[in-house]
């Protein structure tokens, strides 16, 4: 029978005072933070059907935060 992962070895834990977290969970949290920052900072690719610059219908009249997600 195949044993479920995580049972064969002892996971590494990082401890700081009362806080304790496994390295695996810390990596997952770090990846989520990187994903979040990338979602805010990485430009969204333009498609073939996107409006061309200068088209009056496509001028951004929204506020300063428009077109940049949550920035």
- Pick between residue 12 and residue 49 the one whose CB is nearest to another protein: 49
Binding site for another protein (CB under 8 A): 1-4, 6-7, 28, 31-32, 35-36, 38-40, 42, 44, 47, 49-51, 56-71
Q: CB–CB of 43/49 below 8 Å?
A: no
Tokens at 56, concatenated = 């009056």
Assign 6 to helix, strand or coil. Answer: coil
Nearest approach, Cβ of 46 to another protein (angstroms)?
8
How far apart are CB 30 and another protein at their closest, in Å? 11
CB 55 within 8 A of CB 25: no
CB nearer another protein, residue 12 or residue 56? 56
Here the tokens at position 17 are 């005072």
């Amino acid at each position: 029978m195949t044993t479920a992962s995580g049972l064969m070895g002892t996971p590494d834990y990082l401890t700081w005072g009362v806080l304790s977290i496994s390295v695996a969970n810390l990596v997952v949290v770090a990846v989520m933070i990187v994903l979040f920052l990338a979602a805010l900072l990485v430009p969204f690719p333009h498609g073939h059907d996107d409006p061309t610059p200068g088209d009056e219908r496509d001028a951004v009249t929204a506020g300063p935060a428009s077109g940049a997600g949550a920035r």
